[in-house]
Structure 1
Amino acid sequence: MKKYLFLLVCSALIFSCNDEERPAVCGVENPVEDLAWVKEQIQSMGFPNSVAYSYLKQANYQGETVFFFGYCDPLANWALIVRDCQGNPVEGEISLTDLNGQKVIWKPSNSVCNFS
């Protein structure tokens, strides 16, 4: 009986783990939907042709979660503006190499950017 109870408890622990659970970022589960400033920035992107070249990345900078919009059009220049959880620009000289753990958290469905 103890063996079956042990197996039952182990099975419950194994199957209760969910790979889809994401840790909270900036106090929210989904920053793209739950951070008002991010959602507003995405919705206000102007030129329809240029949206396909846009993306949003999340990263760590000096121990803090930060975000930046990027642009993958090889014919265009863009400025790196790093923002904190509240949407405020992070001050200082920051380059892409200063941003650790970068991951794309948003890109349009018609994105032409290649992240591999």
Structure 2
Amino acid sequence: MSNFRLDWNGAQLTAEVRGECREAIREGAEAIATDARRLCPVDSGELKNTIEVATWEKPDAIGAYVKAGGDKLGHVARFVELGTPGTTYRAGKRKGKSRRPIKAKPYLRPSLKRNRTLVQEKFRNRLKQ
């Protein structure tokens, strides 16, 4: 009978796969952010300059998201992406002013839609290595 030895390096393999997944997700999110910057309507350029990628990690999951507006322009980013209804707003018991609607000029959602296949391809290619 011959000597047979099987070494299992599961922790190392898991760490390598997790690292490749992290990089693939980051690359995909960066591609979406780059496209969002290109599609973002420009008035002063401030909103466009706030588009960035943030990553997160938990023991059983890795992810990233593209965000715009930061702390200062978060509400503006929402209004540009989604628009507003243009109705009267109420603050407590006081009646608010009537506002004209803001037409939506989406830039984040179209970027995600346009780059979905590219993100999946980057992920596949990373894991093939």
Query: Does TM-score exceed 0.5, indicating one fold?
Result: no
The structure in which a higher percent of residues are helix is 2
TM-score by length of 1: 0.34
TM-score by length of 2: 0.31
